[in-house]
Amino acid sequence: MASANERLADAAVGHAIDLTRYSNGVARRMIALLNRADTELFAQLMDALERLPPQSFTVQRLDSLLVSVERLNAAAYAAVGADLDTELVALAGYEASYQHKLLESVLPSAVAESLTISAVSASQVHAAAMARPFQGKLLSEALKDIEETRATRIRDAIRMGFLEGETIDQMVRRLRGTRALNYADGLLEIDRRGAEALVRTAVNHTASYSRQALFEANADLVKEWQFLATLDGRTTITCASLSGKTYAVGTGPQPPRHWNCRSTSVPVLASAWEALGLSKSEIDPGTQASMDGQVAADVSYSQWLRGKPAAFQDDVLGAERGKLFRHGKVSIDRFTDNKGRVYSLDDLRKRDAAMFERAGL
């Protein structure tokens, strides 16, 4: 039977996949919000440009006419910030609750009867996570940077358009892109991708901080934590090199390590006798074996997935890809992108409940 630490590591990989899918769903909702705001923004932009004939163009006149556009841009990103914050508050509570339940589920009965796992406050975890920078910036600062960069991109593109004699339609098309390509060919696609990366990274940052807070609150049980990367074709060398290494709780290179990072952290439990303050001889052999304090061996994504039932593989990859994966005809690197799947927090709750049942936890 797998030890408590091995079960925690196994659960962490599956949960990280689901969090990635969830973050993709949140990113799409935030981008949809920006896209809706862009309808009014481009209407304002065209109105401003129509009031500035080419022969009357000056930088000062253009900047004054773009004030309303900049206000709309700022309002759109403020709305994204507010919606994202609401989402992250809920996520902080969910992640702390999930990890609490997971710890309880893997403890041998002899330990569970004598040890109470401490809970953490969702609001306090969220506030602390938002006060902690990731990639050198607070979430609010990073979002403000994207907003200001986008406003500057709009302004500079219009200045260049006037200097090069472009029509209003040409300037707007260069910024917005074409409907035929779903507007992905516009200059502002750069900022959409930046916003998506920010949202995904913020989700990982919040979840990671929630886990660390729970680990710290249970220092008598969690002796250290292990870095666990999602090992597939998109994993960075940095994350791959850290995967499997352990650190004291509250220290070490915690995820996310970069924008769009999918790495996670898993608790490493002390041995049963260490957690209870007893000698090893006072613990029965079964409990000793299930909670021995040994770090789980690092497992690659492919190794982990190959050990799952066919139905689970099909759920992650799709039915046909699952068959190809099982028969070894296609490399996992070809179809491990989960961006097409969108999970809400309710979906995560249902999925995790099913996972616990399958694992008999």
For residue 306, the model assigns a pLDDT of: 76
Which amino acid, residue 83?
D
For 54-82, how does the pLDDT look when each residue is reduced to its tens digit (9 = 90+)?
888 889 998 998 999 999 999 999 999 99
**Cα(86)–Cα(350) distance, integer angstroms:** 21
Residue 262 near residue 20 (C-beta atoms within 8 A): yes
Q: Which residue has the higher pLDDT, 342 or 73?
A: 73
For residue 3, the model assigns a pLDDT of: 86
Mean pLDDT of 301-317: 73
Q: Which residue has the higher pLDDT, 117 or 300?
A: 117
**Cα(154)–Cα(141) distance, integer angstroms:** 20
pLDDT surpassing 50 at residue 105: yes
Distance of CA 351 to the CA centre of its chain: 17
For residue 145, the model assigns a pLDDT of: 96
**Cα(268)–Cα(258) distance, integer angstroms:** 24
pLDDT surpassing 50 at residue 337: no
**Cα(256)–Cα(200) distance, integer angstroms:** 10
**Which of 107, 307, 324 is closest to 221 using CA atoms?**
107
Confidence of residue 347 (pLDDT cuts 50, 70, 90): low
For 123-164, how does the pLDDT look when each residue is reduced to its tens digit (9 = 90+)?
999 999 999 998 889 999 999 999 999 999 999 999 999 999
For residue 239, the model assigns a pLDDT of: 80
For residue 301, the model assigns a pLDDT of: 58
For 218-250, how does the pLDDT look when each residue is reduced to its tens digit (9 = 90+)?
998 999 999 988 755 467 767 877 888 899 998
Residue 270 near residue 222 (C-beta atoms within 8 A): yes
Q: Which residue has the higher pLDDT, 297 or 202?
A: 202
pLDDT surpassing 50 at residue 361: no
pTM of the full predicted structure? Answer: 0.81
φ/ψ of residue 279, rounded to 5 = -85, 155
Question: Which has the minimum average pLDDT: 6-10, 161-165, 169-173, 344-348?
Answer: 344-348
**Which of 326, 300, 307, 276 is closest to 109 using CA atoms?**
276
136 Rama class: left (phi>0) / alpha (psi -120 to 50) / beta: left
pLDDT surpassing 60 at residue 330: no
DSSP reduced 3-state for 120: coil
For residue 342, the model assigns a pLDDT of: 38
118: which residues sit within 8 A by CB, 6+ positions away? 214, 217, 218
Measured CA angle at 253 (ends 248, 258), to 5 deg: 155
Confidence of residue 319 (pLDDT cuts 50, 70, 90): confident
Supply 171's token pair.
Answer: 């300037």
Supply 179's token pair.
Answer: 């409907």
Using a 10 angstrom Cβ sphere, with 0-12 exposed, 13-18 middle and 19 or more buried, the burial of residue 328 is: exposed
Average pLDDT, the chain: 84
Confidence of residue 315 (pLDDT cuts 50, 70, 90): confident
Q: Which of 3-12, 322-331, 342-351 has the highest mean pLDDT?
A: 3-12
For 238-288, how does the pLDDT look when each residue is reduced to its tens digit (9 = 90+)?
787 788 889 999 899 999 999 999 999 999 998 776 776 766 766 777 777
Q: Which residue has the higher pLDDT, 108 or 291?
A: 108
pLDDT surpassing 60 at residue 338: no
φ/ψ of residue 225, rounded to 5 = -130, 155
For residue 54, the model assigns a pLDDT of: 84
Number of continuous H segments (helices) and E segments (strands) in the chain: 15, 3
